[in-house]
């Protein structure tokens, strides 16, 4: 009785699809210092250079990575962040999304999907590597959201390919930080 390898092929395919669909484990843990970010970005279609260090001078930063502009999950997530922008602002937080897309595409995305409410920027390979958010098979980031305190320390990390939960969880983390650090 010989071994029929045809029975194993579906298992191998299923395993490879599961690995490809699973986000990389976010290597930045709570308490770590967030790597510096300087990258082309756009807000309301206007391009500028985003600097994480400058944004942190104003308060905490929600730095969220998404796979690609104008895809269904990323559009849902952008709409969710857009709808919550006033709440993030009230807590003194800046929101910026990063994707491995050209700035021209992100500029359009900032208008149509971010609704001119928050910036999106280019997640270069170096930034993706520094934040350890690369999808295992594709050359794009997974969906990971970080909340970074003004001192540059990561205070919250959430990784999930579904856009669900990214806004509510990061907003809760920002509000908790704000409660512990009232404006003075």
Question: Annotated catalytic sites, by residue?
Answer: 74
Q: Give SS3 for 62.
A: strand
Q: Give SS3 for 76.
A: helix
Q: Give the dihedral of Cα atoms 170, 171, 175, 181; nearest 10 deg.
A: 50
- Residue 150 has what DSSP assignment? T
CA angle 49, 114, 127 (to 5 degrees): 40
Question: Whose CA is closest to 147, among 135, 158, 163?
Answer: 158
């Amino acid at each position: 009785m010989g071994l029929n390898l045809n029975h194993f092929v579906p298992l191998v395919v299923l395993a490879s699809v599961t690995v490809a669909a699973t986000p990389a484990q976010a290597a930045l843990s709570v308490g770590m210092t967030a790597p510096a970010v300087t990258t082309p970005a756009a807000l309301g279609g206007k391009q500028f250079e985003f600097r994480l260090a400058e944004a942190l001078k104003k308060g905490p930063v929600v730095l969220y990575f998404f796979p690609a502009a104008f895809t269904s999950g990323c559009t849902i997530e952008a709409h969710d962040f857009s709808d919550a922008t006033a709440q993030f602002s009230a807590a003194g937080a800046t929101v910026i999304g990063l994707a491995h897309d050209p700035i021209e595409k992100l500029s359009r995305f900032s208008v149509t999907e971010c609704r001119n409410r928050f910036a999106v920027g280019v997640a270069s390979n170096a930034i993706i590597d520094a934040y350890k958010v690369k999808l295992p098979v594709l050359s794009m980031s997974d969906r990971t959201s970080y909340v970074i305190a003004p001192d540059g320390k990561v205070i919250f990390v959430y990784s999930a390919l579904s856009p669900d939960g990214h806004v509510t969880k990061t907003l809760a983390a920002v509000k908790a930080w704000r409660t512990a650090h009232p404006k003075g």
